[in-house]
Amino acid sequence: MLDCALYLLEVGNLAWTSRGNPIPVVRKLSAMVNSNDDGGVLVGNWSGEYSDGKSPLSWTGSVAILEKYWENKRPVKFGQCWVFSGVITTVCRALGIPTRSVTNFASAHDTDGSVTIDVIFDDEGNRDDYLTDDSVWNFHVWNEAWMARPDLPKGFGGWQAIDATPQELSDGVFCCGPVSVHAIKQGEINTPYDAPFVFAEVNADRMYWMPSLTGKMECIGVDNKSVGKFVSTKEPNSWRRLDLTDTYKHPDGSAEERAAVLKANQVGSNRQDLYEKKEHDVTFSLEQDSENTWVGGNFEVILRIHNTSKKDRTVSGRMAVSSMYYTGVVATKLKSDPFEKIQLKPGQDLETCFYPLDDNSLIRPAPEVVKAATEFQVEVSFTNPLDSPLTSCFVAVDGLSKPLEFPQGNVSPKGTFIATLPITPKKLGHTELIVSFNSTQLEDINGSHAIFIQDK
């Protein structure tokens, strides 16, 4: 891994005089881990078509990726954000730079530097994605690397955000960071590198736009509490989640958080007046039981409307359902129905149902202590939740030796899959056994188990 990390700095043409400085080193690595500009490690692919490579969901670790890249010096297919993050964690650590993966839920992708996310509707209330490329991802994974920042004001050292996923150009290259996490929290987006983009990921406001009667776009609402949730990493010396949200932002809606957003928008946006709009006195909320929603099954969406004013209100609107990629990009518009002139008395709530559209742990109990170079058995099982069979199945195992794959037979609809896998661990000490079940229909059904490997 060390040879591969040094090779990336070499083919990335990082000057020898800069290789002792972690700031340019991690910035260069964030460019070299993706292949967009320079033949780096990983090819990004969000299309769902992976026939000429490997699905991003089926990787169980970065070692197999880096070994394949090191073997032929050609980009490896394919990766998405969590794969890029895992690879850059490995190469940075190989160089002695403390690095960890960070996951942000409801992660904004600001494409125009406004540090806001624009959501545009046409005059019939249908979402129009042709006028903006902004989106909010279900989640996004980047990294933090620990270093001093003598180029920044005091207090801006420590954890720095970096991101190898190719999203937006920075100085003409697909790279991101390092940027001080503390600077992001304070809204100091003039600090290098790529602070406006990272700030928007965790703290952008969603701006909702619609054409007025004159045809001019009018801001019909601002949502300042839906982006940047449960920012997470792995807790040191534990398998628990460590919440990092308060290192990136003050509590949503607090005076400190609003001050940071306004400070950032003085640089990124020319529409500070939008933040002075009064809140609407009719509120809306949606509920849907995502835990029990499966492919091919029905589900309900509940819309609750509440009149908080002291006067009668008439509400018109539209309910729309679309399938979306986790990147927030609409795949298919499924259904769209209007509702018109609903009368609400002061303080009245209305609840309406729309659209009835027509875990077991993967690893069974496994030993906690095993011996190196001694085979033991791992039993893997889960129940297929779909009404269709699972085909082209295989189980991937990582964490105890080199990555392994075990081809499996098809799994019948609603059937239970059980397999016993022979594993021979190679390395000593505490580690984590990672098992992933993959098929054409379902991918990345995974489980993990902490194991201690002792000498024979």
List pLDDT tens digits, range 124-146: 777 888 888 999 999 999 999 99
The torsion defined by the Cα of 79, 198, 39 and 63, in degrees rounded to 10, comes to: -50
Q: Which CATH class is domain 2-268?
A: alpha beta
Instruction: Give the pLDDT confidence score for residue 205 in this predicted structure.
Output: 93
Q: What pLDDT was estimated at residue 358?
A: 41
Q: Which regions of the chain carry the CATH code 2.60.40.10?
A: 369-454
Q: Which residues pair with 131 in a beta bridge?
A: none
Are 85 and 165 in contact by the 8 Å Cβ rule? The answer is: yes
Distance from chain centroid for Cα 340: 37
Query: Tell me, what DSSP letter sits at residue 408?
Result: -
Q: Which range scores top for mean pLDDT: 121-125, 181-185, 342-346?
A: 181-185
DSSP 3-14: HHHHHHHHHTT-
Residue 167 has pLDDT above 80, yes or no: yes
Sign of CA dihedral 130, 134, 136, 141: positive
pLDDT at 272: 58
Residue 390: predicted pLDDT:
92
Q: Which fold has domain 280-354?
A: Immunoglobulin-like (2.60.40)
From the CB of residue 333, how many other CB atoms can be counted at a distance below 10 Å? Answer: 13
- The tens digit of pLDDT for each residue in 259-283 reads 999 899 888 665 556 655 556 788 8
Using alpha carbons only, how large is the chain's radius of gyration in Å? 25
* Contact indicator for 239, 450 with CB cutoff of 8 Å: yes
Q: Per-residue confidence at 357, pLDDT binned at 50, 70, 90?
A: very low
Close Cβ partners of 156 (under 8 Å, ≥ 6 residues apart)? 149, 180, 182, 183, 188, 191
Share above pLDDT 90 across residues of the chain, in percent, rounded to a whole number: 52
Question: Which range is most confident: 225-239, 265-279, 423-437?
Answer: 225-239
Residue ranges, CATH 3.90.260.10, the chain: 2-268
- What pLDDT band is residue 354 in, cutting at 50, 70 and 90? low
Instruction: Out of 110, 163, 194, 205, pick the active-site residue.
Output: 163
Mean pLDDT, the chain, integer: 89
Lowest mean pLDDT among 27-31, 225-229, 320-324: 320-324
What are residue 165's phi and psi, to 5 degrees? Answer: -70, 125
Tokens 């799994």 locate to: 411
Six token digits for residue 59: 């990787």
Alpha-helical (H) ranges within 163-277 are 181-186, 195-203, 245-248, 255-268
Instruction: Please tell me whether residue 352 adopts helix, strand or coil conformation.
Output: strand
| Per-residue confidence (pLDDT) for residue 267, from 0 to 100 | 80
Residue 276 CB partners (closer than 8 Å, separation 6+): none
Decide if 182 is catalytic. Answer: no
The mean per-residue pLDDT over the stretch 337-346 comes to 82
pLDDT at position 276 is 55
Q: Mean pLDDT over residues 337-352, rounded? A: 76
At 345, is the secondary structure helix, strand, or coil?
coil
d(CA 270, CA 4): 45
Instruction: Please check whether residue 144 is in contact with residue 123, taking contact to mean a CB–CB distance below 8 angstroms.
Output: no
| Structure letter (DSSP) for residue 58 | G
Q: What are phi and psi of 432, to 5 degrees?
A: -130, 125
- Annotated active-site residue 140? The verdict is yes
Q: Pick the catalytic residue from 4, 92, 109, 140.
A: 140
Distance between CA 94 and CA 224 in Å, rounded?
39
Top pLDDT among 450 and 64 is at 64
Q: What is the mean pLDDT of residues 419-447?
A: 87
Per-residue pLDDT tens over the stretch 110-129? 999 999 999 998 887 778 88
Reference 75, options 46, 35, 44, 30; nearest CA is: 35
Q: Which residue has the tokens 């993967």?
A: 362
Is residue 81 flagged as an active site residue?
A: yes
Contact criterion met (CB below 8 Å) for 104 and 228: yes
Name the least confident of 45-49, 240-244, 338-342, 427-431.
338-342
Q: Give yes or no for a contact between 82 and 101, defined as CB atoms under 8 angstroms apart.
A: yes
288 within 8 A of 302, measured Cβ to Cβ? yes
Residue 359: pLDDT band with limits 50, 70, 90? very low
The answer, yes or no, to whether residue 330 has pLDDT greater than 80, is no
The pLDDT confidence band at residue 253, using thresholds 50, 70 and 90, is confident
Tokens of 154: 């005091």
| pLDDT in the model for residue 355 | 47
CA distances from 217 to 20, 214, 290, 302 (A): 51, 9, 34, 29
What's 369-454's CATH class? mainly beta
- The residue type found at 127 is R
**Can you tell me the distance from the alpha carbon of 402 to that of 157, in angstroms, rounded to the nearest whole number?**
36
> Residues 370-404: pLDDT tens digits?
888 899 988 888 888 888 999 999 999 998 888 88
Q: What is the mean pLDDT of residues 417-446?
A: 87
- Across 207-225, average pLDDT: 88
